[in-house]
Structure formats: C-alpha cells, structure tokens
C-alpha cells in the first residue's frame, strides 16, 4: 500500500551546505515534478515551504554564522508543443545570466541579456559561449546605453533582426509572438508588493505560455512576483502567473505592456 508523504518532509531536514543533501533534494524534486509539473510553480505549497524553511534556518543561525537563503535547485520541466504551437511552447531558447558578466554592467544589463537570448534563438551562432550576452552588450553600447530601447532595436538590426519597441503589448501580443516562433523581451516593475509595484524596471524573455502562466527566462534569477524580491538561481523556463505578472507589466491597464517585438 502506498503512503502519501507530506510536502513539508521534502525540505524539513535539508542542509544546502551538504553536497549529498543537495543531490538528494534534486532527485526528489525531479520525481515530484514528473508526478506534478506545477509543484514548483509560484504560489505552490512546496515553494512556500521551501522559503519558510530557508528563512527559519537563517534566523536560527544568526547568533553564529548567517546563512544565505538558497534558491530551489533547477529542475527541468518542459511543456510539450501543442498542435496550436508548431514552433514549440515553450520555445527552446538558450538562457543567459546577466550576473556572470565580465563587464561592470552586470546589475543593469537585464535588457541586453534578454535581447541577447532573443538573438541567440533567432540567429544561432551569432553569439558564442555562456557569456554571449556580453558580446551582444558591446554591440548595444555602439548605439547607446544598455537601458535604451532604441539602442536595443539598432543592435538587433545590426544582426539582421527587424524589431520595434512598444508600450502597448498585452497577453495576446505574447501569444501571437510565441505562435510565430519568436520569444518576446518584456519590461516590468519588479520591486514593491504586487498591489503597488515600483522600481526602475526589469527585463526578461517570455518563451512560452499556459492558460494561467507565462514561461520565462529571467536573466537575474527567479523573481517573487508577490513580494517583489529576487529569489535567484538559474531561471530557465520559470512559470510566472499571468495574474501577478500582468499587474506588474501592464500597470496602466490592459494593453500597456513594454516589449520588444521582433520579426523572425
């Protein structure tokens, strides 16, 4: 007879400092995701328990040696293509981390890293290596600052990709781009609570969608859309809820999202 194991048991005794604990948890999570693909999604029970455990562990060790909360290990959970998505959903886009940049722009190059992922997908071989976004950044800087949408559009054009910046995107825009086989860089307000988002803005790349979530490559690591914090880690094929992302992306109402629309 099989016995149900409570989700809390998966993280209760985990110590991220021990390699065999990390290997054990990754194996557990892979089996869990195979059984329940939504187990690690934003708002899920396991993710909530994980964050509560990390916060508790950090508080318990403050009198000794503080511990930095660890992100959940990366677990691949691809979504199979549907008949309505001949190019794939999600699209098989390479991921770049802005934080490993060898330049002094790491903390502010999310826009460039997102567009670099777009470029690497549409023009395979145009960028090379894990730091291909650094190569792309140098091209952007010929035309302006990494935060400048016009500079991004010009840089993409120099690689033969026609694109435009818009402040009138919506979920339908995203769905149309993915259906055409084109990932879409989106800029949103990533700080402050979801009820009142703030900040200078952050860019990521949407590579797919479900009825309830967007599937994204986040160059800065996974975001907590509810609190506005950054969880971190390798943020490939992360599921961000439409409800919470939409409130941060379309802050002026439906059809007011910032995005770069490329033509394949």
**Segment 75-92 mean pLDDT:** 64
Considering the domain architecture, whether residues 102 and 48 belong to the same structural domain is answered as: no
- Write the pLDDT tens digit of every residue in 3-41: 555 555 555 566 655 656 655 665 566 566 555 555 655
- pLDDT band for position 88 (cuts 50, 70, 90): confident
- Write the pLDDT tens digit of every residue in 205-235: 999 999 999 999 999 999 999 999 999 998 9
Considering the domain architecture, whether residues 28 and 143 belong to the same structural domain is answered as: no
Considering the domain architecture, whether residues 102 and 44 belong to the same structural domain is answered as: no
Omega before 144 cis (within 30°)? no
Domain assignment present for residue 248? The answer is yes
Residue among 184, 190, 185, 257 nearest 223 (CA) = 190
- Write the pLDDT tens digit of every residue in 172-200: 999 999 999 999 999 999 999 999 999 99
Query: Count of CB atoms within 10 A of residue 100's CB?
Result: 13
Question: Rounded distance, CA 234 to CA 223, Å?
Answer: 11
Considering the domain architecture, whether residues 202 and 249 belong to the same structural domain is answered as: yes
Domain assignment present for residue 74? The answer is no
Output the furthest CA–CA distance in the chain (Å, rounded): 66
Domain assignment present for residue 90? The answer is no
pLDDT value of residue 104: 96
pLDDT value of residue 74: 42
Residue 264 pLDDT greater than 50, yes or no: yes
Question: Rounded distance, CA 10 to CA 44, Å?
Answer: 14
Question: Rounded distance, CA 189 to CA 194, Å?
Answer: 9
Tell the residue number behind the tokens 């959940």, with chain if given: 72
Considering the domain architecture, whether residues 32 and 118 belong to the same structural domain is answered as: no
Question: Rounded distance, CA 250 to CA 254, Å?
Answer: 6
Question: Rounded distance, CA 147 to CA 200, Å?
Answer: 10
CB 89 within 8 A of CB 79: yes
**Segment 93-120 mean pLDDT:** 97
Residue 159 pLDDT greater than 80, yes or no: yes
- Write the pLDDT tens digit of every residue in 123-151: 999 999 989 999 999 999 999 999 999 99
Beta pairing partners, 184? 206
Considering the domain architecture, whether residues 25 and 156 belong to the same structural domain is answered as: no
pLDDT value of residue 213: 96
Considering the domain architecture, whether residues 112 and 214 belong to the same structural domain is answered as: yes
Domain assignment present for residue 93? The answer is no
Q: Name the percent of the chain lying above pLDDT 70.
A: 68
- What is the CATH classification number for the domain harbouring 118? 3.90.70.10
Residue 91 pLDDT greater than 70, yes or no: yes
Domain assignment present for residue 225? The answer is yes
Residue among 75, 62, 97 nearest 30 (CA) = 75
For the entire predicted model, the pTM comes to 0.72
pLDDT value of residue 78: 43
Mean of per-residue pLDDT scores for the chain: 82
Q: How many domains does the chain have?
A: 2
Domain assignment present for residue 77? The answer is no
Considering the domain architecture, whether residues 13 and 104 belong to the same structural domain is answered as: no
- Range with lowest mean pLDDT among 2-6, 91-95, 118-122, 229-233: 2-6
CB 11 within 8 A of CB 51: no
Domain that holds residue 30: 7-60
Considering the domain architecture, whether residues 55 and 165 belong to the same structural domain is answered as: no
Considering the domain architecture, whether residues 121 and 170 belong to the same structural domain is answered as: yes
């Amino acid at each position: 007879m099989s016995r149900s194991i409570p989700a809390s048991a998966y993280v209760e005794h985990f110590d991220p400092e021990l390699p065999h604990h990390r290997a054990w948890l990754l194996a557990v999570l892979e089996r869990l995701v195979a059984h329940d693909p939504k187990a690690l999604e934003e708002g899920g029970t396991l993710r909530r328990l994980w964050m509560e455990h990390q916060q508790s562990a950090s508080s318990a060790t403050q009198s000794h040696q503080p511990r930095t909360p660890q992100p959940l290990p990366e677990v691949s959970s691809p979504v199979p293509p549907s008949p309505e998505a001949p190019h794939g959903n999600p699209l098989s886009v390479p991921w770049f981390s802005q934080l490993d940049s060898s330049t002094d722009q790491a903390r502010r190059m999310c826009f460039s890293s997102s567009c670099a992922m777009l470029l690497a997908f549409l023009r395979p071989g145009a960028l090379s290596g894990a730091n291909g976004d650094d190569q792309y950044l140098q091209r952007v800087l010929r035309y302006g600052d990494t935060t400048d949408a016009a500079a991004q559009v010009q840089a993409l054009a120099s690689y033969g990709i026609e694109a435009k910046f818009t402040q009138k995107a919506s979920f339908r825009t995203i769905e149309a781009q993915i259906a055409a086989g084109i990932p879409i860089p989106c800029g949103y307000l990533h700080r402050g609570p979801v009820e009142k988002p703030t900040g200078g803005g952050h860019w990521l790349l949407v590579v797919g969608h479900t009825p309830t979530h967007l599937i994204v490559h986040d160059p800065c690591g996974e975001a907590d859309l509810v609190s506005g914090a950054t969880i971190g880690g390798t943020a490939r094929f992360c599921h961000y809820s439409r409800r919470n992302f939409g409130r941060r992306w379309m802050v002026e109402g439906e059809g007011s999202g910032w995005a770069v629309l490329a033509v394949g």
